[in-house]
Structure 1
Amino acid sequence: MPAAAKETPEQVAAAALEAAPVWDGHNDVPIQLRGRFDNLINDFDFVDTLDTQDGDRAAMHTDLVRLEKGDVGAQFWSVYVSAALPEPEAVQATIEQIDVTKRLIARNPDKLALALTADDVEKAMAEGKIASLMGMEGGHSIGNSLAVLRQMYDLGARYMTLTHSTTLDWADSATDAPRHDGLNTFGKDVVREMQRMGMLVDLSHVSEAAMHDALDVSGAPVIFSHSGARAINGHLRNVPDSVLARLPENGGVLMVVALPWFINEELRNHSANRSAEEARLKALFPGLPDNVEAGLAKWDATNRPPVSTVADMADHIDHIRKVAGIDHIGIGGDYDGMPTGPVGMEDVAGYPALFVELAKRGYSQADLEKISSRNMMRAMREAEAFAASRRDMAPIEYPVGKPRDAE
């Protein structure tokens, strides 16, 4: 092609997103509906949520207008509930979040379509609707019960993050003290049962040992619904190279997160330094909160936080491509589950900016289509095919009341 006719990065990105709209791995609108509106959404306008700012609480990151601007074609809505809840309460709350998500989808039938299969996703995209899937964030949502896990699948959940912030009776979290050196016997059976049904195993939030244990027993692709590369940002929520190197054999997809503190290493260190300064001030001035507040304000004035940008997110994608390959990268923004996205991608309207940045770095249209949704489509179809091959296999059973931390 003559140089004068060469497509610009903007044109390459636009063509890729038209052919393969973004399939985003994690959006926390459902917990926003719970926290802001007590799940009372009969009068909730999801077309434009910019008016949801309330005092110190920023406006929501997500609405139908901005999803369209962001070229989002499929969305995993997180039916997250707090891991601090007692597990029986967490099970109930998760069902309530599935309910509010389904009601949100039903209230917006011209723009959203409930999707339970890869075919559903493909159909919704072809109709110009956003395919709406549901993912559970944390195994506390099943209350130590494979029976509950199966019922959550029947209610429509299509992935489960094995842990959230808390280590469970059967799985170690990345950000809590380990108890099992990964997954125990029951935890490995959770993975097996999920894949027997066709539910995607999500390894965001779990410890490195748990990632390896899950891969050891997986016959279907796993996902990381919203994580980065630990070699670029050392946060334990990110994925180490030892795990990235196993994705080609597994077929899994790392859906890259946009959360600034997970993608910009300088910002992560700034946050840690600020926490250390706050702890120092509290030790110096016990019982004098005004002194602590004044000292922290002085520290803030002379230690401005670094700025995270779209380029930071692209750096993670570059590294994952280097270690795991182009076929194992996706997008998992974590919008409405963080204060803001990086500069240029503050909300869900910003995805095209990321794809322009990648095109500037030499990614082809075919590469960008894989990252936006084709890799995720392939992984889901392979997970469904694996489940179909296990159709005659009986469900895994455990006696009622058996301790799940027993080996």
Structure 2
Amino acid sequence: MADLQDQLHAPTEVDELDALIEGPFPAEPYTPVTDPHAEPLEQAHALLAAHPVADGYCGLPWALRHLAWYDLELGESALETDVPRLREGHVGAVFWSAHLPEGLAGDRAVGATLEQLDLVKTVVDAHPEGLRLAHTAGEVADVRHCGRVAVLLGPAGAAALGDSLGILRSLHALGLRVLTLSGASWASEVGLTRFGEEVIREMNRLGVLADLSGASAETTRRAFAASKAPVVCTRSAALALRPHPANLPDDLLAELGAAKGLCMVPLTAEQTGPSVRDVADHLDHVRALAGPECVALSGTYDAGTAHPLELRDASGYPHLIAELLRRGWPESDLALLTWGNVQRVLRGADFTARAAQQRREPSTARIAELDG
């Protein structure tokens, strides 16, 4: 059972690394990039050229399974995401979901998740001029500087683990970087079990981000306390503005901000409303409660959801940024919204993993031992 606990006395260099994780990263002075006399849409394109969008959720992998043929480089009318539209929307990085349809569980869920990860790698390899896989904040920045769109793997559902930390490590080795903590016996409406807390510790050790969209309030609060790395909500807006199971109430938004997590607001009619103004209202609300460093964007394209007209596909981000400029958002906050906040969270996961790997060996805990 020793592997269930951190060593009591960590090396000095690890303690110093923890201080970097828990404290704020040094703020860099912001240099404006837009012409204040230009029209908002023109300003939006200029800002996004310097600070592209890191999109928190895309359902493309599952959507591609239903197409007999596609070419993402030339463009694909049957989809909401392809390379031309990603470039038109100034998307620099995107998380490709490995979520599965409801009803898959056990070995079927594990197998289907492995197939999803394999498909993503195949698709990215087939489009080298537009896409490139990335796993860390540094790799994301490198891919952007090469003129490609960085593709990160995740989130996957908790069912993909099959209640096994060994499978979690295998999924991480295949590139998975985000796991949603819902839909499992150890992450349910009543909160995290002891095994669930051990899953979070192992995720921290690996550098896998915890996604709390759709998780119960009890699971969410326990994850805030248990995770040393920042947590994310990959598809959550403000419950006060629009009722939806994945949207967050004001108290949880405030707690998410205090925990330096990240609320990635989806651009969907169901969760945020039918117009770009509705989406902007949610962004205003989350920013006010959680803080400008804790809000980001989640296109949620190709996930079977409807979108506001001006945001109907991945090319629409400039329209949203133009609306926020009209509302008086400073460029510095917009740069955090589009790119900086996701980079902060990825760096936090990297730092946490380095510290944890010096403290503890891979966990050998089993669900029957902790929750039986």
Identity of aligned residues (%): 36
Q: Which amino acid aligns with 2:307?
A: G
Scaled by the length of structure 2, the TM-score of the pair is 0.87
**C-alpha RMSD over aligned residues:** 1.8
1:280 aligned residue: none
Q: Deviation at 1:230?
A: 1.0
- The one-letter code of the counterpart of 1:348 is A
Determine the C-alpha separation between the residues in 2 that align with 1:86 and 1:6.
Answer: 55
Q: Does 1:235 align with 2:229?
A: no
- TM-score calculated relative to the size of structure 1: 0.79
Q: Which piece of structure 1 moves more, 354-363 or 81-90?
A: 81-90
Matched, 1:259 2:285: no
Greater mean alpha carbon deviation, residues 117-126 or residues 233-242? 233-242
Match of residue 369, structure 1, among 322, 327, 335:
335
- C-alpha contact (below 8 Å) 2:53/2:91 kept by paired residues: yes
1:336-363, Cα deviation, whole Å (9 max, x unpaired):
0023211210111111111001011001
Q: Which residue of 2 aligns with 1:325?
A: 291
C-alpha contact (below 8 Å) 1:30/1:77 kept by paired residues: yes
- What displacement does 1:83 show? 3.7
What amino acid sits opposite 1:135 in the alignment? G
User: 5+ residue gaps in structure 1?
Assistant: 38-42, 52-58, 173-177, 265-307
Q: Which position in structure 1 is the counterpart of 2:19?
A: none
Q: Is residue 209 from structure 1 mapped to residue 240 from structure 2 by the alignment?
A: no
| Long gaps (5+) in structure 2 | 1-34
- 1:60-99 equivalences under 5 Å are 60-99=79-118
Letter in 2 for 1:128: G
Q: Distance in 1 between matches of 2:122 and 2:347?
A: 26
Task: Tell me, yes or no, if the aligned pair for 1:220 and 1:250 is still in contact at 8 Å.
Answer: no
Distance 1:64 1:321 in 2: 30
Does the CA contact (< 8 Å) of 2:155 and 2:211 recur in 1? no
Give the counterpart letter for 2:62 in structure 1: I
* 1:180-204 Cα shifts (integer Å, max 9, x gaps): x111111111111111111111111
In the alignment, structure 1 residue 29 sits paired with structure 2 residue 60: yes
Do the aligned residues in 1 keep the contact of 2:212 with 2:220 (CA within 8 Å)?
A: yes
Do the aligned residues in 2 keep the contact of 1:171 with 1:184 (CA within 8 Å)?
A: yes
Instruction: Tell me, yes or no, if the aligned pair for 1:13 and 1:368 is still in contact at 8 Å.
Output: no
Residue 162 of structure 1, aligned match among 178, 181, 189: 181
The answer to whether the Cα contact below 8 Å between 2:95 and 2:155 also exists between their aligned partners in 1 is no
Matches within 5 A, 1:3-402: 6-37=37-68, 44-51=70-77, 59-163=78-182, 167-172=183-188, 178=189, 181-264=190-273, 308-392=274-358, 393-399=360-366, 402=368
Structure 1: how far apart are the matches of 2:327 and 2:40? 9
In the alignment, the residues of structure 1 paired with residue 202 and residue 43 of structure 2 have an alpha-carbon distance, to the nearest angstrom, of: 41
What CA distance in whole angstroms lies between the structure 2 residues aligned with 1:405 and 1:230? Answer: 32
Contact 1:228 / 1:238 at 8 angstroms: preserved in 2?
yes
The residue that corresponds to 2:11 in the other structure is none
Letter of the structure 1 residue corresponding to residue 234 of structure 2? S
- Between structure 1 and structure 2, the one with the greater Rg is 1
Asked whether the equivalents of residues 220 and 383 of structure 1 are also in contact (C-alpha less than 8 Å), the reply is yes
The alpha carbon displacement at 1:13 in A equals: 1.6
Counterpart CA distance in 2 for 1:85 and 1:403 is 25
The number of aligned residues is 338
